[in-house]
Amino acid sequence: MEKDKIKHFTIAVPDIGLNEAPYAKEVAKYLGTDHHEYTCTVKDAIELIDDLPFYYDEPFADSSSIPTTLVCKMARKEVTVALSADAGDEVFAGYNRYDYMMKHGSKIKNTPALVRKLDCKYYGLTLTLTIFHFLIKSIILPQSV
């Protein structure tokens, strides 16, 4: 008796320009896995938003929560235990920031530690002030008018 093929699940998100489903299909073909694919539509995403607090136990503002939840629901129909490949971009340097670090990393590394620390503190403060400014301008001030 032939053993069951490993089941392989992926979500296609063609509307946002980040669709990795064709690559997943190629990998599945190469590895000989049982490939399952679902295309996430805007309607799917909107309908799922109200359910996200049930699946995530804390505020979670990562847009990947929608396709991740969809792929989990799809996989659950076929399997009871699954291994996730989430974080593959981090492991295999899939984001453009890794290209930036390869290109400019030595310059950053050669910058004195004190300057790097001050720079990080400045950008952290800038981000905090930007968020604070947004909250005041868009939420607090309109309510007091």
Per-residue model confidence (pLDDT) at position 141: 54
Per-residue model confidence (pLDDT) at position 73: 92
Q: State the pLDDT confidence band at 12, using cuts at 50, 70 and 90.
A: very high
> Residue 33: is its pLDDT beyond 80?
yes
Three-point CA angle 63, 117, 104, nearest 5°: 65
Q: State the pLDDT confidence band at 62, using cuts at 50, 70 and 90.
A: confident
pLDDT digits (tens, 9 = 90+) for 95-140: 676 677 777 777 767 777 776 666 666 555 554 555 545 555 555 5
Mean pLDDT of the chain: 76
> Residue 17: is its pLDDT beyond 60?
yes
**What is the dihedral angle through the alpha carbons of 70, 13, 98, 119, rounded to the nearest 10 degrees?**
-80
Tokens 């593959």: give the residue: 88
Mean local confidence (pLDDT), 29-56: 90
Mean local confidence (pLDDT), 83-97: 69
Mean local confidence (pLDDT), 74-97: 77
